[in-house]
Amino acid sequence: MVVTGGPGSGKSVIALSLLGELSRQGRTVLHATGSRSFTQTLRKVAGKGSTRTQALFKYFNSFMDADRNGIEVLISDEAHRIRETSANRYTPNKIRERARPQIEELLDAARVPVFLLDEHQVVRPGELGTVADIRAAAALRGINVRQVDLTAEYRAGGSATYITWVLRLLGLAPGGPLTWEDEPSYAISIAESPEELEATLRADLKAGRTARITAGFCWPWSDPNPDGGLVHDVRIGNWTKPWNVKGNRAIGDAPPSALWATNPGGFEQVGCIYTAQGFEYASNGVILGPDLVWRGDGFVSRRSENRDPDFRSAARVSDEDFDRLVRNVYKVLLTRGMERTVLYSTDVETRAKLRELVNPG
């Protein structure tokens, strides 16, 4: 089974409902993702107080040595994050030598593999979670594929119009950018400074809404200071903020990286694609960095302005692939908000274009 849908279409709700229902029926079922943040949050929230429930949540690389059809159903959530292989630098050589494509491991582990994905959320080199990839791997095994598209389904408060606006703005859907007029259920505003963006989001937070600030990976990401404090790496004029914590331990009031999107202390750090993907909050502040700017009649990517180590090698990631991936990164960041998005671009020309497009007049 392949379930496709954009942000807010309910993929993860379906995944967790399916996991619960099959578990109650006594079926052997597991939930897996490729996101440490997402899996750890599910273990903490859904599995609170029950080690048995926590054990239902795995990672995609947990099935290298799994028995073929060893479980009845494997639910692969956020399947756009499937990697080329489960092997990494910590994998023993004897296991690495016989490593298979990760998608084959997931297909073989269960009698009924279920994949839930959004193809526009492939954001890293080496991610192979597309419908075509899954269909090709299944065809080699003679496995029939059934697909369900959730494009027309949105949670209360979500906006299909906004998703379309984002896709057209970023050139991920044809037709060029659209103007935006606020809806009763969704609003966009353009901040003229990072200070204004933060103040708007902080007011929402004080009003009882969940709120977070994210940014493109355009600033260095330092280890904590010797005294344990986070370094304010994200600098725009006089405004500074630290990135979210890198590791699995809280630093002061800053939560561990996996809990940045859900712990109240996360508001005081800027989140990145790796901590925001898979999560939603009511108010979404997004800083468009200098790696994607508006020029002429569309966005232009600038690799030299990006600090993500995964994009560093031009031999591994071509300019064409970088352009596609960085647009997907911002698509993910721009679609985390359930009620509103506040946008700020570090580039003057880009801000002017956004003002022209958002609530003109």
Rg (CA), the chain: 21
Distance CA 68, CA 66 (A): 6
Rounded Cα gap, residues 335 and 62, in angstroms: 29
3-state secondary structure of 30: strand
Write down the pLDDT at residue 155: 45
What phi and psi values does residue 326 have, to the nearest 5 degrees?
-70, -30
Here the tokens at position 89 are 């630098």
d(Cα 83, Cα 60) in Å, to the nearest integer? 8
Which residues, other chains included, contact 207 with Cβ-Cβ below 8 Å and sequence gap of 6+? none
* pLDDT one digit per residue (tens) for the chain, 361 residues: 999 988 778 888 899 999 999 999 999 999 999 888 888 888 888 878 888 889 999 999 999 989 999 999 999 999 998 998 888 777 777 777 777 999 999 999 999 999 999 888 888 888 888 899 999 999 999 999 999 998 755 543 567 889 899 999 999 999 999 999 999 989 999 999 999 999 999 999 999 999 999 999 999 999 999 888 999 999 999 999 999 999 889 999 999 998 999 999 999 999 999 899 888 999 999 999 999 999 999 999 999 999 999 898 889 999 999 999 999 999 999 999 999 999 999 999 999 999 999 999 7
Give the pLDDT confidence score for residue 257 in this predicted structure.
92
Supply 320's token pair.
């064409």
**Token pair for residue 162?**
């906004």
Q: Which helix (DSSP H) or strand (DSSP E) does residue 38 occupy?
A: helix 36-45
Query: Which pLDDT belongs to residue 214?
Result: 98
CA neighbor of 40 nearest in space, from 215, 268, 278, 207: 278
Model pTM? Answer: 0.83
